[in-house]
Structure 1
């Protein structure tokens, strides 16, 4: 018995050390930044940036890694202090509950080994999250609520009233920032409409039907079947409309994009994407899809990583925004970084002034820049949040 107790003690100690060392190491490897801060831009670009009233980003996976978002990190791309440094008013924190081993843009199996399981265990999450997608999802949602409570100067946005509170609070205090919650892939629901109500109660207001693999709702842009919405998928979209949870079409198969746009009664979001007119990838939106999303009153977040916009990334980001502008106008463009999403990015959130400079260099007006950097998102949520 004594040997057993000692062995259990050693194993507990090893696990404790692993929870401290392994997640930061994994994140450092998965979320590199090509150019480290500080970043510099022209005086004209910086002056415009400094006068921006509302900056927003539609996609960030920082909750996945277990990092304390109340502290400025040396790794990763986003935390509350860096949001304040960058004068970012609102970040959409998206929850990743499953990711297939060998993840790629072309084809992934639903049955592939899940990369998030060992990470969940290594982070020291509660055992009920180790093998449950819905519990992982609710656990990450709870983490954001805890970070917000600990910080004391972050507002959680879940409806129009809380969003208006954020706008009002920032008129007198720019250190007030806001966070929203989304889900990347509705496999997190584990095939249950009841779980959709649970995530709504947790404050989640955006869900993508699929991520990197096909699931019970239908096909992924990177899956194996390319299918549209299943009957269950249609019931989920219908219920999301009733609850006023935004449908995020990033990663969805073209058939799902069509099916959602044919049936939804609400405007959609594409939280992080590129456009095929700049980079011809199955990951990206076609011109026809962009037009349909604009007709729907939706909004398109342009991603920051090479597999969405090509290299060099900054030029690709600006080119993608210019393509959308020329096709449907500037009112539908937003930032959709995919920060902390296991991608290499050209700059962290404090480098957003580089986008202003890039837009200026391509002839965008100050009014258009303001729209892209956050005013479009502000208008979208003021109109569409309940």
Structure 2
């Protein structure tokens, strides 16, 4: 009797664990990556026709964080290859998220906790990723490479100007592949060793933000405790990135960090995802002075679609932020930065990017300006930034 009871308890425990590993990751993502279901704007035939001719670039998504096949249509989240194709996306930047603090907020976070460890275990990732931020980024690189290899040419990794040109050339033919560029949401994944940048570059990383929601060994975060500037390691890493052909991303940097990056940059700088203080007064968004600083480097500002970026989820809110950048420093510095699959709630997913095209038309953007904002500017900066020195 005792043995049967023991076996029964063991079986129940195994079933509970199996249910956790099978169901919990998907439940977590459904709760975090949401579409709010509010009415979409009506898209005109003119906007649809223009949208079909665009080379669209999104500077930031966190899709690699989650346990699902990016090649298959998903019933959760915001990005997968079928939806990228429906949205006519030419290039998607896939970011590697390796650590987030408990109780994450925009105001003040310490670096002494981590939500991603439980997610890595729950998603049954390789054991090496359970306690190593570097290995988590390398695992995300592996996931992206496998997806590209298995896509039949429909998802192509972009690592240099030639591979970027190849994607754009192929899109002029009947089949329209989507390019994939690998990035990082904070270089705490270096684990305190600048030489690990070579390992990330070797894995295909070509863009990186210095910080995420907490201060790290490179710089202060806008959401950290100290919110300081660049450390000596941070300055060293920026110089290395510019030399090897990796694009520097200031998203989530503190104001002091942003100022110091812009002061030392010798190549165009990117703010991959966020908004502007002028239309949405949230601390993570850029001031007019910072917008001018990014423009002075020849860089671009990717505008997102969620509440923290544009104070709404309407595509018109995103368009108004883009209009402010255009009016302040010129259309050549406007770009898209969705933060899709980044624990955000949005109005539309990547298959519905005609929403942005229509909103820009409604805000009075010309056809040439829409081409530039939806991807032309990003293609220019990325193409230049991938060239090693």
TM above 0.5: yes
Residues 54-111 of structure 1: per-residue CA shift (max 9 Å, x gap): 1110000001011110101110000011111111111000010000011111111111
Cα-to-partner distance string for 1:134-191 (whole Å, 9 max, x where unaligned):
1111111111111111212211001111111111111113431110100001111110
Please list every run of 5 or more consecutive structure 2 residues that lacks an aligned counterpart in the other structure.
Answer: none
Q: How does 1:41-120 map to 2 (within 5 A)?
A: 41-52=43-54, 54-111=55-112, 113-120=113-120
1:254-309 Cα distance to aligned partner (Å, 9 max, x none): 11111111112221111001001111121000101101110101111001111110
In 2, the alpha carbon distance for the partners of 1:312 and 1:34 equals 8
Answer yes or no: is 1:140 the counterpart of 2:121: no
Distance 1:264 1:3 in 2: 67
The residue number in structure 2 matching 1:286 is: 287
Counterpart of 2:164 in structure 1 is 163
TM-superposed deviation, 1:19: 2.4
For the pair 1:125 / 2:125, whether they are aligned, the reply is: yes
Partner of 2:94: helix, strand, or coil? strand
State the distance in 2 between where 1:5 and 1:200 align.
50
The Cα shift of 1:4 comes to 9.9
Q: 1:9 to 1:302 in 2, by over 3 A?
A: same
Q: Secondary structure at the match of 1:117?
A: helix
Cα distance in structure 2, aligned partners of 1:6 and 1:80: 43
Number of the residue aligned with 2:358? 357
Q: In 2, distance between residues paired with 1:224 and 1:235?
A: 23
Aligned to 1:23: 25
* 2:160 and 2:383 in contact (8 A); partners too: no
**Hey, what does 1:299 align to over in structure 2?**
300
Compute the displacement of 1:15 (Å): 3.9
CA distance in 1, matches of 2:76, 2:380: 32
Partner Cα distance (1:284, 1:184) in 2: 16
Residue range with higher mean Cα deviation, 43-52 or 135-144: 43-52
How far is 1:8 from its partner?
7.8
Task: Report how many residues are paired.
Answer: 384
Equivalent position of 1:34 in the other structure: 36
Is the alpha carbon distance of 1:141 and 1:73 closer, same or farther for their aligned partners in structure 2, counting shifts above 3 Å? Answer: same
Task: Tell me the distance in 1 between the aligned counterparts of 2:49 and 2:85.
Answer: 17
Asked if the contact 1:87/1:174 (under 8 Å) is kept, the reply is no
Shift of 1:7: 8.2
RMSD over aligned CA atoms reads 2.0
Deviations 1:180-223 (A, max 9, x none): 10000111111011211110000001111110000111210011
TM-score, scaled relative to structure 2: 0.94
TM-score by length of 1: 0.95
Contact 2:313 2:346 in 1 (8 A): no
C-alpha distance in 1 between matches for 2:4 and 2:159: 52
Distance 2:170 2:130 in 1: 38
Q: Which residue of structure 2 aligns with residue 181 of structure 1?
A: 182
Distance of aligned partners of 1:247 and 1:131 in 2 relative to their CA distance in 1, 3 Å threshold: same
- Alpha carbons of structure 1 residues 193 and 3: separation in structure 2 relative to 1, 3 Å: farther
Q: Distance in 1 between matches of 2:288 and 2:66?
A: 35
Helix, strand or coil at the partner of 2:382: helix
Check the 8 A contact 1:38/1:351 in 2, yes or no.
no
- Once residues 202 and 24 of structure 1 are traced to their aligned partners in structure 2, the CA distance between those partners, rounded to angstroms, is 27
Alpha-carbon displacement from aligned partner over 1:223-266 (angstroms, at most 9, x marks no partner):
11111001111111111112111111000001111111111222
